[in-house]
Amino acid sequence: MKLKKAFTMIELIFVIVIIGILAAVAIPKLAATRTDAKVVKTVANLKQLLEDSKSYYTANGADIVANPTTAWGAVPWSKVTNAISFAVSKDIASNDVIKLDGEIGTPCFTITPDTTKTETRNNVEIPITVLTVTPENVGNQVCDNAQVEADAKGFFDLDAGTMDYIIGGSSVNL
């Protein structure tokens, strides 16, 4: 009579305990990775929106009278940048306020176009166009981390709580 080889109950319990410990360590790491990905994507969308806006404004200007179909303010944001697909409101003019989604269904940044600002160069007031970036949903983990990351990359000033990003006028840095 041959005995059948099998695992003992103790061996099976040890295996289950080890799998449980590994799962307890791995699951929080996966959740943190998902949050980090949302933060990176939110900051990348902010950067794309700002850079695309500067390029569009430089190429088409803001004179709606001279350029009625493609001038800044005459076209919707969707013509200015692909990052608009990550905004809460998509079908608004490029001179309207836009809220940039933080990949969580609520905005992390508000971008406000302002064509009324000026800067002084050689005692002459020169009009400039800026996008003012302000925070939204402070206290939300994704938004807070995105704001810190955007500050580190120079797209937001965390200490000031806002940042003017020049897209048109004499101070555009190409």
6-24: average pLDDT: 90
- Nearest Cα neighbor of 94 from 115, 65, 73 is 73
With respect to residue 4, please indicate whether it lies within any of the assigned structural domains: no
Residue type, 63: D
With respect to residue 36, please indicate whether it lies within any of the assigned structural domains: yes
More confident residue, 71 or 23: 23
- Nearest Cα neighbor of 101 from 68, 77, 117 is 77
With respect to residue 173, please indicate whether it lies within any of the assigned structural domains: no
Dump pLDDT digits (tens) for 115-151.
778 888 788 888 888 888 888 888 888 889 999 999 9
Count each helix (H run) and each strand (E run) in the chain, helices first: 3, 6
Phi, psi of 166 (to 5 degrees): -75, 125
Dump pLDDT digits (tens) for 60-79.
877 766 777 777 777 777 77
With respect to residue 157, please indicate whether it lies within any of the assigned structural domains: yes
How far is 88 from 110, CA to CA, in rounded Å?
Answer: 10
The pTM of the full predicted model, rounded to 2 decimals, is 0.73
**What domain range includes position 133?**
10-168
| Total domain count, the chain | 1
* Burial category of 104 from C-beta neighbours within 10 Å (exposed 0-12, middle 13-18, buried 19 and up): middle
* Residue 174 reports pLDDT greater than 50: no
With respect to residue 174, please indicate whether it lies within any of the assigned structural domains: no
Which pLDDT band, with edges at 50, 70 and 90, does 165 fall under? Answer: confident
With respect to residue 136, please indicate whether it lies within any of the assigned structural domains: yes
Looking at residue 77, its pLDDT comes to 75
With respect to residue 56, please indicate whether it lies within any of the assigned structural domains: yes
With respect to residue 21, please indicate whether it lies within any of the assigned structural domains: yes
Looking at residue 136, its pLDDT comes to 86
